[in-house]
Structure 1
């Protein structure tokens, strides 16, 4: 009766060995099994399939017509099973490539340490790193050119289906200027900054766009000078060319000898959340694992070169 016995790979492998070696006895020797075990597996195979596989009226194991047809399928199934086993072996040593994008602030702070440690922790994962402005990174992420990006969260993400996000850290922002440039009692109302030149990163920076949007809501004019490079922007501020909203702790640490001043302004700029964004899908568990490791490493307060 069909279905009494379950069809198994071991039955098919035993069947193939009997056919190739010609007798149950030789097959049992090859399989390191007793002859009765081989006979039992063949019997179970016949009951599982409902087929009469061997002509037992002959001395040697000769296939019936049904057996010939089963043999072709048995070879295919065994071949497929071997490919699955090989796939499992390959997965142990396969190098997973992940394309990941970071902004300049990340590259100036915790990214070098993360890359150094993660490479030792996970030699099976190759991170292909891109450093660029957040808007450019987000566009590449949308175009599937990057698997994961670490950027300030942009409003479009909320409307993007299938995008996972994880907050890594919030960055404290502050108005900064060359010491002595901005006069007046402290705290200083933000309206008193109207007479100073505002310096900012350009439109490709999601960080700058969020800050500039907030500044506009406070009634201040748009930035008059643009410097897409964060270090260049800090250089302009330390030279007394104007004021800017900057990551407070990070800039204070690497420009501490340059006479920069954190301005006590009311209201102070909001903190900036940096997120890991990645697509859901077949690799979501890997990307989630990397994102959690990024969260553990994220520290935007300490420049790596100090």
Structure 2
């Protein structure tokens, strides 16, 4: 029987958090039989049953619930020990990060560069998706950290506001919009390119034009970059987060329309469930907060 070691504690905490030997194995980059063996060895060493194993589920026993807190504190102490060195190169591991398209198209690249510089042995596994889908992945424990926009249906114990981005209306100069105020019927002459159907901004757009009884053609897309390209080609008017359009506007390929209504600003936050959160996850949140464009902070 192998001697009791830190890998047994890691397996115990991850199986408890993820509710699955398979998921714990994937998280710790090993096999399911290895995780099962580590739990069995830990239980043998302690002479206790820590988990009840049913088909498709794992539940902590009373003894397991008593020991999960001390187990978490052991992992936190090890992380604190490494952090005390002041050297990010001593950390290794995997950060499963989920981001929205806006993050991916704006400040994701400098974020990844800073993470690599600070923690060269920590790999970032990236998922880019709609905010609603990222929330589902977060609560399914399939990602560790999400940089996403609200509103949020489910609260997380750890949330750090990052900033916000207002919406703007943009169109190609070739469409001939005036530089002054624009009326709803002028916009309605063109397709309105915007977020995916069912998303919060799409719902607000639809409700706005219904309220003012202005028929419009909403063209939804899960890819805002594609909407901007279509707008650039004169295929419609786009209602998009200002951050996404900054580069195109600076190049003069699009103009901002002075329409007096916009969807609510996008409020972005970092959200995570991991407990204890490793130093490199906490640092990732700090890096993201520092990168979010200052002009768009609350």
The TM-score bracket by the shorter chain reads: 0.5 to 0.7
Counterparts of 1:226 and 1:236, CA distance in 2: 12
Mapped to 2, the partners of 1:222 and 1:154 lie a distance apart of: 25
How many Å separate the matches in 2 of 1:249 and 1:98?
26
Change (3 A) 1:203 1:143: farther
Secondary structure of the 1:174 match is strand
TM-score normalised to structure 2 length: 0.60
Q: CA, structure 1 residues 88+219, in 2 after alignment: closer, same or farther (shift >3 Å)?
A: closer
The answer to whether 1:278 aligns with 2:268 is no
Task: Report the equivalent of 2:229.
Answer: 235
* Structure 2 unpaired stretches of 5+: 1-44, 46-73, 83-89
Q: Do the aligned residues in 2 keep the contact of 1:176 with 1:263 (CA within 8 Å)?
A: yes
Of 100, 104, 107, the residue aligned with 1:103 is 100
Q: Is the 8 A contact 1:109 1:301 kept in 2?
A: no
Q: How far is the alpha carbon of 1:119 from its aligned partner?
A: 1.3
Q: Which runs of 5+ in 1 are unaligned?
A: 1-75, 77-83
Query: For 1:238-277, what aligned pairs fall within 5 Å after superposition?
Result: 238-254=232-248, 256-257=250-251, 259-277=253-271
| Alignment TM-score, normalising by the size of structure 1 | 0.59
Deviations 1:84-111 (A, max 9, x none): 9xx9599644513221111222122211
Instruction: Count residues in correspondence.
Output: 212
Counterpart-to-counterpart distance in 2, 1:90 and 1:286: 11
2:139 maps to which of 121, 138, 142: 142
Counterpart of 2:209 in 1: which secondary structure? coil
Equivalent residue for 1:215, pick from 189, 205, 208? 205
Specify the SS of the correspondent of 1:107.
Answer: helix
For 1:153, the equivalent position in structure 2 comes to 150
Counterpart CA distance in 2 for 1:148 and 1:182 is: 44
> Whose radius of gyration is greater, 1 or 2?
1
Alpha-carbon RMSD: 3.4
Task: Tell me if structure 2 keeps the 8 A contact 1:189–1:267.
Answer: no
